[in-house]
Amino acid sequence: MEPAQKVCHDERMSGEKILHLFDMETSGKKIPLSELGFSGDQFAYAVAEDSPPLTLTAPVFLNRPEFAKMFPAGQVHRHSPMVCAVQNCFLMGPFGYVVLPTGRLIRESAVKLDGASLEYSFGHFQKQLPGKHIPWAQAGGPVFSANGFSTNNYFHFLLDALGQMHWRERVPLARISKSIVSGYPLGSSHSFMDEALQRTGIAPGDIQAFDGTLLYCPQIIFPRRDTGASPWKVEWLRRRFGLDGRARGAKRLYVARGEVPRRRVINEAAVEKLLASHGFTSVNPGKMSLDKQIELFADASIVVGPHGAGLTNTMFMAPGGAVVELTHTKRVVWTYHEVACAAGHSYACVVGDFIGNEKEPLFGDLDVDIDALDAAVTIAIRAAG
């Protein structure tokens, strides 16, 4: 049990339940990165003060100015370069929550504290309780958990989890600890996880087994959970994927949706016809291995595609490229604007019409404004030189 003076008495309502939180920044001890995990403190954290901010540039094209506030220019500090160390705790759920024996959830271990995310994690735990004799597994030594939100998704795995492995180069104890990069089993249907680990040189022996249920950790190191791109994540991934110093490519790619049951581009044939006139080739990254995706996009200079995980691949282009995101009025977010800026690309956004159920905007279809797309591509070609 943590000392009384160390407890942050923060409570959040989740449905009809009260969530008890422990705040590392309020109740932990701030120490240098090199001492993290070695100081003997039960709760400690460090901040990489030299981490560069994410500098955003305004879109080179946006056909609906009412959404301009979603794409600000300037420096943002959305991603805190903070890493924590805790002794005697549990790692719980596919999103990698760190929970104390008293039942308190460490705030910095969660990207979201909304009821839906919490209920999902607790439900996952209840349905997949491991072990025949004890209700949890146990790590044999210190653990570094890069695990985060929805890592069975290509975008979230690469940028929210694998990209956090850069801390192993900065924190000595993390470097010699077993690592966790997902709360979903490796070697499963999500082949990109194993392919990415192999490409970045992380061996199976470096991985701590974790099935997203409950793992007792005598000591755990974890970065403050965040979601999305940052300069240090993108730099580490590009370097470990062997893309440092790669010459600019010349390919122009369209990330096609094709025959899918939801989030369709309903006028995709017209989109592809227009893009073909500008020298674009249609590709489907979801049908490729990770290596093929990396090599294909590393040879590109301009990528056009609908909002979705396929645009994650734009960080593989050499800096100086251009990204044109296609989306609809119910799904205008900064996700791929940040990826483009963190990777050094110009960004354009074509906002089309939403087709579908207003209650489920994430799964709705998109009707692309072809004239706006033509204008966006013309500007993107100019921006990419």
Give the integer Cα–Cα distance in Å for 243 and 175.
23
What does the radius of gyration of the chain's CA atoms come to, in whole angstroms?
Answer: 22
What confidence score (pLDDT) does residue 342 get? Answer: 96
What confidence score (pLDDT) does residue 189 get? Answer: 65
What confidence score (pLDDT) does residue 385 get? Answer: 87
Number of residues assigned to the chain? 385
What confidence score (pLDDT) does residue 10 get? Answer: 53
Give the integer Cα–Cα distance in Å for 351 and 275.
17
Percentage of the chain with pLDDT > 70? 91
pTM of the model: 0.90
Residue 346 has pLDDT above 90, yes or no: yes
Give the integer Cα–Cα distance in Å for 178 and 220.
10
Band of pLDDT at residue 9, cut at 50, 70 and 90: very low
What confidence score (pLDDT) does residue 119 get? Answer: 74
Residue 114 has pLDDT above 80, yes or no: no
Residue 378 has pLDDT above 60, yes or no: yes
Tell me the domain boundaries of the chain: 4-30+81-227, 237-383
Q: Around Cβ 17, how many Cβ atoms within 10 Å?
A: 11
Q: For residue range 95-109, what is the model confidence (pLDDT) as tens digits?
A: 999 999 988 999 999
Q: In CATH, what number does 237-383 get?
A: 3.40.50
Using CA atoms, how far residue 56 sits from 70, 220, 337, 348, 359, in Å, is 11, 33, 8, 13, 31
What confidence score (pLDDT) does residue 140 get? Answer: 93
Element (H, E) at 116: helix 115-127
Q: How much is the average pLDDT of 242-247?
A: 92
Q: In the predicted model, what is the mean pLDDT of the chain? A: 90
Q: For residue range 247-302, what is the model confidence (pLDDT) as tens digits?
A: 999 999 999 987 777 889 999 999 999 999 999 999 999 899 999 999 999 999 99
What confidence score (pLDDT) does residue 132 get? Answer: 47
